[in-house]
Amino acid sequence: MDRVLKLGTRASPLALAQANQAAAALAAIHGWDGQQIEIVSVTTTGDRVQDRPLAEIGGKALWTKELDRALNDGQVDFCVHSMKDVESERPATLRIAAILPRADVRDRLIGAESIAALRGGAVIGTSSPRRSAQLLRLRPDLNIVAFRGNVQTRIDKVAAGDVDATILAAAGLDRLGIEIGAAMSPEAMLPAPGQAAIGIECRSDDDQLIALIEAASHGPSYACVTAERAFTRALGGSCASPVAALATMDGEEMLLRCALYSADGLDCVGDEARVHPGDDRVPEEMARAMLARASRSIRILFEDA
């Protein structure tokens, strides 16, 4: 590459940590020095508006639309995303060319040793419909309050006693070097589709850059995240829809486990299937079948999306 590449990212500490991880991975593979990639931070609407749930102000696009614009306009050459924050439908002009090796997919509980250890009626801060529904399914007595801000802000709110506890992604905490919280197994708290995965996206017509980026992609992680996103895409939901999905490699196939919840967590429909890498048909059929047998309290969350 005979020019400096501009890598777009959100401006949060976690996003910048992920961008530096992606830049380091590309540099290591291609033997680039530290001057080959310039990190360009972009403040997104999702970063600016912190007092309302994402679903009320535009959904996951609030994390990506400014980066998409910068990419399409040529202000940056490629972008780094936390894949759980990326809409399952992407513009045809853009291509997710790589997924880095996936990190710890689990969530961590901050403020208590376990869900069972929380006091009766404990106040839990989260703006994730998925986490809220799963928490209420485990403990209907819990009080869920809207909770946004960067990772350290949310940890500080727990420490200050604003809430009893919150839940954060283990991968994000690890990337920031924060050793805190009790890990929750995927069986207890099934992750969000794409959780713990870093994606690298570029323009779909930039063949030279696509080839360079693809060299950093981790095949099993790419296959698993793609299957989860195919499931979500077929649902047609929004970020207000409580959806959990996790694909893991099992030999030459993946085991895909998925669940849909009502907002209060009382109703749930789950399923699992074996999927061959690159086969979107099975996740899509699984999504449609789950919706068809789901209760009205679940279906309405997708019909109104």
Residue among 130, 262, 278, 272 at smallest CA distance from 193 = 130
**41: helix, strand or coil:** strand
Q: How many CA atoms lie within 13 Å of 217's alpha carbon, on the beta-carbon side? A: 22
State both tokens at 41. Answer: 């931070």
| Measured CA angle at 78 (ends 76, 61), to 5 deg | 90
* The 107-110 sheet, strands edge to edge: 143-145, 123-125, 165-169, 107-110, 182-184
Catalytic residue (one of 85, 162, 164, 279): 85
- Cβ neighbours for 161, distance < 8 A, ≥ 6 positions apart: none
Q: Tell me how far apart the alpha carbons of residues 4 and 144 are, in angstroms, rounded to a whole number.
A: 46
- Are residues 263 and 295 in contact, defined by beta-carbon separation less than 8 angstroms? no
- Are residues 33 and 39 in contact, defined by beta-carbon separation less than 8 angstroms? no
Burial group, residue 244, by CB count within 10 angstroms (0-12, 13-18, 19+): buried
85 is catalytic: yes
Give the H or E element holding residue 55: helix 54-57
Catalytic residue numbers, as ranges? 85
